Structure 1
Amino acid sequence: RQRARQACTQCNSRRVKCDVVERNPCSNCVASAVACETRESRRGKHPRPTKKRRESAAPSSGGADALAASRVLASLHRDGEGSSKEGPSPQGLGHDDLESHSSQDPRLDEDNVFLGETNLLRFVSDGTPASMHPGPVTAATARLRYLVPSFAKAEALVPQWEFDRRRVRLDYLHANGAFSLPVPHVTETLLKAYFDHFHPCFAVVDEVDIWAQYRKGALSPLLLQAMLFIGSLHCDEPILQEVGFDSRHRAKYVFFNRAKDIYDAEFERKKITIIQALFLMSFWRAGALLEKDTRHWLGSAITLAQTKALHRSAGKAETQNAKLKRRIWWSLYTRDRQCAAALGLPDRVRDEDCDFEALEISDFDFAFGPAVPKRQAMEYANYALVMAQLATQLGRIVHSGYLPNQAFSDSHTAQMKEQLLELKQRLPPPKQHGDAISTQSSFFSNMLRLAYNNLLILLYRHDYVVNGEGGRESDGNIVLQTAAENSRIIEDMLAEGNLHHGQIHVITNLFNTLCIHTVHLRRSDGTTKTVAEHRAKLCLLGLQELQKTWEVTNWVLSLFFAYLDNSTAARLRLQEDSHLLNTGSSISKITTPVLPQATGFEMPRRTGPPIAIPGGEVIPQLTDDMQLAPGSWAWTSEEANQFLFSQIEDQFAFGEGEMLDWSPEE
């Protein structure tokens, strides 16, 4: 049959007949509800090499190798498949097509695949291992990327029945609102919340490009829904109520699942866009036992990023695309280290497999919009740089002392201490009384100091738990001083009203601090015990504040409230009711903090004999008929001594770890 003179990119990749010459968009793209795009032919338009260049070119150049390989593979493909369908023949893949995939072209990400050093393809062209090529990046790394022939791309190999199945699924998603958006001003408000509160910490997109694509209607639906999910974490709740969401949790659930459905339908084709969306989706706080949790989405993003060689050196490439990819990879790396340490699980990224460049200030040239003052943009960039360095050091500490059959040696501890002292010089100075530092600057400085202090706690925690605080200069006392500083930071952030915008690593930092204060609480008496109790209360209050954004109850508060002993459960009551114990009044209702119903967690009901307390009063045991209501509580030293320490003895991993087997008799 007669071939069409021209085909759109979608029909060309699927090798089906296209009528884009007769109508635009073509009928196939209309049926599939996808954008119909045609590629301008480069035939005769590429610069011709001079005679001198042709003579000096090596006979086994990369372009010639790729062209020859594609022709051989094409012939094998034709032999196995029979007659080819509509589409350009592999022989049509000329030098102009190869040249269009230069390192300056973002399409390189879509048309190349990374195959590491163990793959033997790198020996085929001239028999020289890529690792033997000189240069920092190298020709070596460049030659580990291979151009995939057009006929071998995933889209070209999709059979018609699979295409029909995808189309049915996309129709279903359209009908069920997966691609729907809030009204424009709400969408823009959510995007603004994303760029105000999340983007400064993880600049995985270019702000100017995102706004331009959004206004043109060209922004990827997958990425947009993922960004709206993050925006819903940080926006004001009245904005969400304006579009019918009765709670922040409901809004997060809707936007996250829209992004998830679009991802599962394989609608998005651009790999970098998919990586960006998966990274944002990894901030979904799933239940503790659910399969698709934070590490599932983060692991998917890391795996895809590695297939696009984001973990390998790109040399001194200074293009906008190269800088974006460096920021994306460092964001993945930072979160991988934080998640692995928080959960006590292995890293997904091994330093031995990577040779990527360190972040630099210049990598943020395109990250922020023109509305962000230059000084503020510099502060954001410095935050990301220091946080990446802290994440690197976090991995080293975990690998030195927290792997199976591994313990800190004196030499390792001394080395880590020196490295931490160097890192401390890069931290912003702590806020002093009377400083003119802005609240926002103080916010980022506080988050960095919390992350840094968490490293100190991890490094010296064992010495403190086993040996106590010892002298003023002992390693154990460093832990106690660090935890005290963290409590002061949390108190400042609570007073400034911005703690709920803190990034997710603050949860782990707070929980580890709470553990240290609880240990100190058990070992202390008198005024020292009261101070430790106050500091622990600040940590719990901070966790409750973070719960507004990150649903802390899924991990941390559940550990503290799931297995309370009877005495502690009875005494967790409103502070306003404390006079009842002194006036002899009977207590018919005990008010305790409960977890939000969104988590599906219920406080265990207890029945049994009444509890005798000092002073001769008797508090009836909790029964199923007693009402539990949220509220603040008065937490006594005895309760903290009896319960909190039992929950966090040295068996905890690094912050969000396992629960202990414990009974009140112990």
Structure 2
Amino acid sequence: MSTSQNVYTRSPNPSNRSYDSSSVSSATSPKSLSQFAPGAMNTNPRLNLPATPQPIGIPPLPPVSQGFQSYGPMTTSSSLGHESLASNESVASTPGPSTSQLAGPPGSQGQKRAYRQRRKDPSCDACRERKVKCDATETASCSECSSRNVKCQFTKETNRRMSSIKQVQDLEKQMERVKRENSGLRRMLQDREGPMELDAEGGNENAFNLPAIGSEPKRRKRSAPGQVPDLYRARSNVRDFSRGIWKPPAQFRERAPVFFDPPRPELPARHLVDQLLHAYYTSSHSMFPIIHFPTFRASVNDLYNSNGASRTSPAWLSLFFAVLATGSLFSQTSNSQPNSFYEPAEFLETANKMLDPWANDFTLDYVRALALVSLCLNEMNLKSAAWTWLGRAVRVSQDLGLHIESGPWPVIEGEMRRRTWWMIYILDRTMATELGRPVSISDSDCDVPLPAGVDDQFIHDGGMMVPTGAEPLTHSLLAVIHVVRSYSSLIDALSPGALATTHLSSLDTHFKKCLNTFPPACDPSSTVPLAPHFLAPLAYLFHARLLLHRHHLHPEYPVEARMASLESCTHISLETTSLLHRSNSALLADGATSLLTTHIFRCALFLLLTGYLDHALAAVRALASIDRRRDVTVACGRYLSFFVATLGAKRVEYTNYLARTAAPPFGSSRPSIDQTALLQMLSRDEDLLAYASADLQASPDASWLWAGAEREVPLPQTSSPFQHSTATSSSGLFSPEARTGLKEVEGKEW
């Protein structure tokens, strides 16, 4: 990027990486910001969406090691940049001789050289042996070999200089033969192992190997039972004598004795339990149906009818209190009570006490309790704690073999195993993208089939039976899985460096297909009312799209790339506010998750920066309705207050600058401020872009804000690392400061 293009308040790091778009002009003719952010300074209360930005195309660049000079400005019509070069220009854009100069006039030296070359054409092996004239051509055998019915070939050491046309023809024949052989081998492998990821040409058909919507994970190779003899006696001996050395596969293990027997907790009031179970069923269970609810309700009834807590396993009690903690986070009745802040923490404390920290044998209830505790901690804004509990859930689930398709299992247990694994998979991918951490689960290590699209009441030990005319599926687990399975590719795409055109378009196309798996009302272009409980699962999709396009806000990219990135993020934010506008705001808080809350917060930042004030206000009002139902909302509100104040100060600064440099209109003493120019200056301010990127600055790889911070004076410690906070409990679960990250005075700034 040339110096003339650097219009930022602080100079970004120049880069030769490209992030071109059909909606973005070349460096020589930049568009005004009104084209990047249509509707600038718009105050129309109607939430009308702009046209969808065109797909961003990135032509590949030559390696730096080639040492070529830079190409001239590329147009979007030239995929590799060659069409933009004149016919008499070299690749390095330096003047060169024309074609006519290379050809030469008739009768010139070029014709004589061609005549001498024909006389020096090599003879075939047979003609050289017989010392006769050879009249072989590029495509036909010589007459001598044809009459003698022998093969006309050129293999002698002195005759290896075949013509270039002959070499090309031979290479083409070899390539065709190799392609045919490869195609046959691929068909054989496809018949044996399923679809291949590469096309017949050997290229990558899918830039990131994105799984097709509804496709099952690739099955791992296992030895076929028919290929080994029946070893009944050996199995019996191994079960007996392997104890203490290794464990058989999960489905063949004997039930281990329980050594952990903690004091049983006091059970909550039954009416409160019913309220919390209802809240859990309508919120978390609608996305993560990891417990068979009819069976679970029956177990709860037995627990209260017989007062059988003493006869109930600690792992099941831990799961029970984890369910209550999750329900309390989404219960409207619970949150209206004075002790609503502490209620989920108390349930989580009890759930933790029922888990043996030194357990060596696990159950499905144990891992489900871990997963729900991790989910609760994430919703309570204790994200590092949630990450570590999730790590335990991953390891325990792998110990139980949840990551592979095994069996046989009873119908209900087998389905709950699959759903539990996919919930842990979703949490792993989502937290990794939010925290900038590596994922804990590798796709190549698991082959669990997708869960059944059947509600709990239709799943029985005798099978899954859905009656004709039954209501549609009530949980959105499958739709969320289709989105989150692409997070691995998204994380790869967000690694440092330019995002290739094929990668960006592949992910964009995949996300559009994912949107089609949701009900039609979930489309941002729809006008029908949207049920609020769809917003939480939709957040996984819009969160991924925003992360994808936010990637190119980094100063190392050219101004066109950064403006295209800002435009795409603004469009996604407008789509989000369209969904909020069609939802019942009074019911939004009941199902709002931490992911949805932070996504709305990011959208508000982009809408404020690009001048969509009415849409930004809609996002802020949504956050206000969520308020303290999600602990992260308080911190988001405080950040927004800071951003609005900073944005206002920048507006005054740039307005005064434009007033000093602009000439007043004819007949007026006051200069007219160009609002488009003002918005353009605001959107290119380096400080504002860093603030709008928000949690992108938390990533060790993608952040740029902390460059040079190591040379600054270390921040003073406000307290000793061992000094207790003012909280009444030693646990961060009960501390507002731990859960919001703010002191009491700071929390009131929202």
Q: Which amino acid aligns with 2:626?
A: L
> How much has 1:448 moved relative to structure 2?
4.1
Measured in 2, the distance between the counterparts of 1:490 and 1:442 equals: 10
Residue 305 of structure 1 deviates from its aligned partner by 0.7
1:295-353 Cα deviation digits (max 9, x unpaired) = 12222112111111111123797711111111111111112111111111111111121
User: Structure 1 residue 645: deviation in Å?
Assistant: 4.5
Q: Which amino acid aligns with 2:504?
A: T
Counterpart residue number, 1:411 = 502
**Long gaps (5+) in structure 1:** 1-55, 78-111, 115-143, 156-162, 521-528, 572-612, 615-636
Contact between 1:547 and 1:553, CA under 8 Å: does it hold in 2?
A: yes
Aligned partners of 1:198 and 1:230 also within 8 Å: yes
Structure 1 residues 398 and 494: CA distance shift in structure 2, 3 A: farther
SS in 2 for 1:514: helix
Quote the residue 1:537 is aligned against: 617
SS in 2 for 1:361: coil
2:235 is the counterpart of 1:66: yes
Alignment of 1:272-291 (within 5 A): 272-285=364-377
Distance 1:320 1:339, change over 3 A: same
- Alpha-carbon separation, structure 2, partners of 1:204 and 1:553: 27
Name the structure 1 match of 2:173.
none
Of residues 696, 700, 710, the one that matches 1:652 is: 696
**Structure 2 counterpart of 1:488, from 575, 578, 582:** 578
The answer as to 2:478 corresponding to 1:388 is: no
Larger Rg: 2
Greater CA drift, 417-426 or 227-236? 417-426
In 1, the alpha carbon distance for the partners of 2:331 and 2:634 equals: 21
CA change 1:374–1:188 in 2 (3 A) is farther
Which residue number corresponds to residue 221 of structure 1? 317
**Cα offset for 1:411?**
2.0
1:184 paired with 2:277, answer no
Q: Distance in 2 between matches of 1:293 and 1:481?
A: 34
What secondary structure sits across from 2:473 in the alignment? helix
Q: How does 1:70-85 map to 2 (within 5 A)?
A: 70-73=239-242
Shift of 1:485: 1.1
Identity of aligned residues (%): 17
Change (3 A) 1:260 1:145: closer
Kindly indicate whether the alpha-carbon contact (under 8 Å) linking 1:327 and 1:359 is maintained by their aligned counterparts in 2.
yes
Distance 2:269 2:228 in 1: 59
Partner residue, 1:298: 390
CA change 1:341–1:494 in 2 (3 A) is farther
Using structure 1 for the length normalisation, give the TM-score: 0.55
CA contact (8 A) 1:225 1:255 kept: yes
CA drift of 1:659 comes to: 11
- C-alpha distance 59-293 of structure 1, shift in aligned 2 (>3 A): closer
8 Å Cα contact 1:468-1:476 kept in structure 2: no
Distance across 1 between alignment mates of 2:408 and 2:604: 44
Q: How does 1:133-532 map to 2 (within 5 A)?
A: 145=250, 147-148=252-253, 153=256, 155=258, 170-171=262-263, 174=264, 179-217=265-303, 220-237=316-333, 241=337, 246-264=338-356, 271-285=363-377, 293-314=385-406, 319-362=411-454, 366=458, 378-381=472-475, 383-399=476-492, 401-403=493-495, 405-430=496-521, 442-463=531-552, 477-493=567-583, 495-520=585-610, 529=611, 532=612
1:5 corresponds to which residue? none
CA deviation after TM superposition for structure 1 residue 265, in Å? 6.2
What SS does the aligned partner of 1:263 have?
coil
CA contact (8 A) 1:283 1:294 kept: yes
CA separation of 1:147 and 1:353: change in aligned 2, threshold 3 A: same
- Partner-residue secondary structure (3-state), 1:205: coil
Cα 1:238–1:658 shift into 2, 3 Å: same
Structure 2 contact 319–366 (Cα < 8 Å) conserved: yes
Find the residue that maps to 1:283 and give its secondary structure: helix
* Distance change (3 Å), C-alpha of 1:73 and 1:429: closer
Offset, 1:240:
7.0
Pair 1:374–1:213, CA change in 2 (3 A): farther
Q: How far does the alpha carbon of each residue in 1:139-179 deviate from its partner, in whole angstroms, 9 at most, with x for none?
A: xxxxx5574578xx575xxxxxxx6xx66xx34xx5xxxx1
Mapped partners of 2:599, 2:573: distance in 1: 9
**For residues 226 and 526 of structure 2, what CA distance do their matches in structure 1 show?**
63
In the alignment, the residues of structure 2 paired with residue 339 and residue 435 of structure 1 have an alpha-carbon distance, to the nearest angstrom, of 30
The CA deviation string for residues 333-377 of structure 1, in whole angstroms up to 9 with x for no partner, is: 112111111111111111121111123314756579x9x999896
SS of the residue corresponding to residue 341 of structure 2 reads helix
Q: In the aligned structure 2, how far is the partner of 1:446 from the partner of 1:566? A: 26
Equivalent pair of 2:325/2:347 in contact (CA under 8 Å): yes
For each residue in 1:391-430, what CA deviation from the matched residue of structure 2 results, as whole angstroms up to 9, or x when unmatched? 112332122x223x45422221222233223223223223
What is the deviation of 1:479? 3.0
Alignment check: 8 A CA contact 2:535 2:596 kept = no
Q: Does the 8 Å contact 2:609/2:647 carry over to 1? A: no
Indicate the residue corresponding to 1:590 in structure 2. none
Rounded Cα–Cα distance in structure 2 between residues aligned with 1:286 and 1:450: 15
Q: Cα gap change, 1:409/1:443 in structure 2, threshold over 3 Å: closer, same or farther?
A: same
Letter paired with 2:478: L
Higher relative contact order (CA 8 A, sep 6+): 2
Aligned to 2:219: none
The alpha-carbon deviation at position 516 of structure 1 amounts to: 2.6
Cα deviation, residue 385, structure 1? 0.8
In structure 2, the gaps of 5 or more residues are 1-224, 650-654, 657-678, 709-750
Q: Secondary structure at the match of 2:354?
A: helix
Change (3 A) 1:402 1:57: closer
Q: Is the 8 A contact 1:222 1:259 kept in 2?
A: yes
User: Cα–Cα, structure 1 residues 113 and 324, in superposed 2: closer, same or farther, change >3 Å?
Assistant: farther
Q: Secondary structure at the match of 2:287?
A: coil
Q: 1:335 to 1:374 in 2, by over 3 A?
A: farther
Q: Are residues 547 and 312 of structure 1, via their aligned partners in 2, closer, same or farther at CA, if it must alter by over 3 Å?
A: farther
Cα distance in 2, alignment partners of residues 360 and 67 from structure 1: 35
SS of the residue 1:313 aligns to: coil
Tell me the CA shift for residue 228 of structure 1: 0.9
**Which whole-Å CA distance do the structure 2 matches of 1:507 and 1:655 have between them?**
19
Q: Which amino acid aligns with 1:517?
A: L
C-alpha distance in 2 between matches for 1:495 and 1:147 = 51
Distance in 2, matches of 1:287 and 1:432, equals 26
Q: Give the letter for the 1:380 counterpart.
A: T
Give 1:307's aligned amino acid: D
The 3 A distance-change label for structure 1 pair 536 and 436 is closer
Residues 282 and 297 in structure 1, CA contact (< 8 A), matched pair in contact too: yes
Tell me, in whole angstroms, the C-alpha distance in 2 between the residues paired with 1:331 and 1:154. 28
* Residue-by-residue CA offset, 1:12-40 (whole Å, 9 max, x unaligned): xxxxxxxxxxxxxxxxxxxxxxxxxxxxx
